[in-house]
Amino acid sequence: MPMTLAEKILAAHTDRPEVQAGELLEVRVDFCFGNDITAPIAIKAFRESGARRVFDPQRVALIPDHFTPNKDIASAMQVKMLRDFAREFGIPHYFEVGRMGVEHALLPELGLVLPGDVIIGADSHTCTYGALGAFATGVGSTDLAAAMIRGTTWFKVPSSMKFVYHGRLKRWVGGKDLILYTIGQIGVDGARYMAMEFTGPVIEKLPMSHRMTMANMAIEAGAKVGLIAPDEITRQYVQGRAQRPYTFFASDAHARYEVVHEWDVSAMDPMVALPHLPENVKPVTELPAIPIDQVVIGSCTNGRLEDLREAAAVLKGRKVHSSVRCLVIPATQKIYRDALNEGLLQIFLDAEAAVSTPTCGPCLGGHMGILAAGERAVATTNRNFVGRMGHPDSEVYLSSPAVAAASAVLGRIAHPDEVR
């Protein structure tokens, strides 16, 4: 039987030659992790189970990134649980402030998550590593606890949806626009329980950072994973980082897809998701003048170096609008340092944007940029649910870094070409 990329990776983590969509499997886990919100519950469950060790300390990570640097005493207590657990069980991949990063930017950067892996993370955006050709998916804390003990987890093998993107992307159009468009087409439950596989000539040329943005938001269509078959771009990204051997898998020629969507995206304009669902997508060119109060450029979706370069290209020599606060949050310490060395941070500071240490903070309304009632933000993040970035009466518009930067300059949601 021909298999999809998702089926092949899962089969390779069982003792069976092939598996099919719909089967329930227990699979080996190559890597698992949690953050300062989810890991405390996992740690409690782990301790209550009576387990005396984690299955492999090298394959577990604890990353305090959501409420860090600790925003209050309760958050500090949660982070301390991670730190104490990492020490007690000899887990080397615990990342203290100053060395940490937003988990989904940090783990690929360090070569800890790799092509062909099965990865579970107690965070829904774990699907980011599908960009590397890994079967990576978000789970709850209890699933993480079980995986830390046994090194296995169970899955229902998902059926697959194939997306084929044809054409040539216009300037200022990238991975964020492609995934917003896709979610706009299929809806926030359009890929519920399924594997999304992103393919076609546009994907073949798409840089890794843009691929990660796409895979990152597969969960926003309800998907279990968002996959891109590894290729030369993947090899170049992984080489020199990988801390373990890895495997490239690809779907068989006659693999079965539940649905195939083919789109020519040559005419696509930058996309914006309007409140309060990521499926509420419109081209920026079709929006009226929508005044804004805040811009956030960062997160696991768009906080990588390439994203900061894109924002800096728009902000260079310009000022953030007087009625807007613009927050730029490099996703890892390395990205922060690289942005400093490239002069990007200088551009942001000259534009009168604030540059923050890595944190998930504002994306989830945690800290470091909370919205008041009636305030409106353009963010390069992934969710625009009611109250996501603060007060339930605030609004979040999702966009690419270029659109976010242009909006910061003009004080309203804007196409980058409008910035003169």
48 binds another protein (CB under 8 A): yes
Dihedral sign, CA of 200, 202, 204, 206? Answer: negative
Binding window for another protein (CB under 8 A); candidates: 103-111, 219-227, 247-255, 287-295: 219-227
Decide if 100 contacts 63 (C-beta within 8 A): yes
- In terms of CB distance, is 217 or 315 closer to another protein? 217
211 binds another protein (CB under 8 A): no
20 binds another protein (CB under 8 A): no
- In terms of CB distance, is 276 or 316 closer to another protein? 276
The binder of another protein chosen from 18, 84, 88, 189 (CB under 8 A): 189
DSSP 331-391: SBHHHHHHHHHTTHHHHHHHTT-EE--S--GGGGTSSSSPBPTT-EEEESSS---TTTTBS
369 binds another protein (CB under 8 A): no
Strand partners, 283: 271
388 binds another protein (CB under 8 A): yes
Beta strands per DSSP E along 286-344:
294-298, 325-329
Taking each helix axis from N to C terminus, what angle separates 73-88 and 39-49, rounded to the nearest 10 degrees?
Answer: 50
CA distance 227 to 5: 8
374 binds another protein (CB under 8 A): no
Decide if 127 contacts 134 (C-beta within 8 A): no
CA distance 381 to 362: 9
Binding window for another protein (CB under 8 A); candidates: 247-255, 291-299, 338-346, 387-395: 387-395
45 binds another protein (CB under 8 A): yes
C-alpha R_g of the chain:
20
- In terms of CB distance, is 177 or 279 closer to another protein? 279
User: Which residues 57-116 are close enough to bind another protein by CB under 8 A?
Assistant: 66-67, 71-72, 74-75, 78
128 binds another protein (CB under 8 A): no
DSSP 127-172: GGGGGGT-EEEE--HHHHHHHHHHSEEEEEPPPEEEEEEES-PPTT
The binder of another protein chosen from 149, 242, 287, 313 (CB under 8 A): 149
User: Which residues 280-339 are close enough to bind another protein by CB under 8 A?
Assistant: none
Tokens of 43: 């740690």
Q: C-beta of 341: minimal distance to another protein in Å?
A: 33
The binder of another protein chosen from 65, 103, 109, 143 (CB under 8 A): 143
Q: C-beta of 161: minimal distance to another protein in Å?
A: 14
- In terms of CB distance, is 297 or 363 closer to another protein? 363
Q: C-beta of 295: minimal distance to another protein in Å?
A: 20
- In terms of CB distance, is 54 or 410 closer to another protein? 54
15 binds another protein (CB under 8 A): no
| Secondary-structure percent of the chain, ordered helix, strand, coil, rounded to 5 | 35, 20, 45
Q: How many CB atoms lie within 10 A of CB 318?
A: 18
Decide if 358 contacts 331 (C-beta within 8 A): yes
Binding window for another protein (CB under 8 A); candidates: 40-48, 101-109, 254-262, 409-417: 40-48
**Number of residues engaging another protein in binding (CB under 8 A):** 53
Q: How many CB atoms lie within 10 A of CB 245?
A: 7
226 binds another protein (CB under 8 A): no
The strand pair at 294-298 and 325-329 is best described as: parallel
Q: Which residues bind another protein (CB under 8 A)?
A: 24, 37-38, 40-41, 44-45, 48-52, 66-67, 71-72, 74-75, 78, 121-124, 126, 138-143, 145-146, 149-150, 154, 156, 188-189, 192-193, 219, 222, 224, 277, 364-366, 383, 385-388, 392
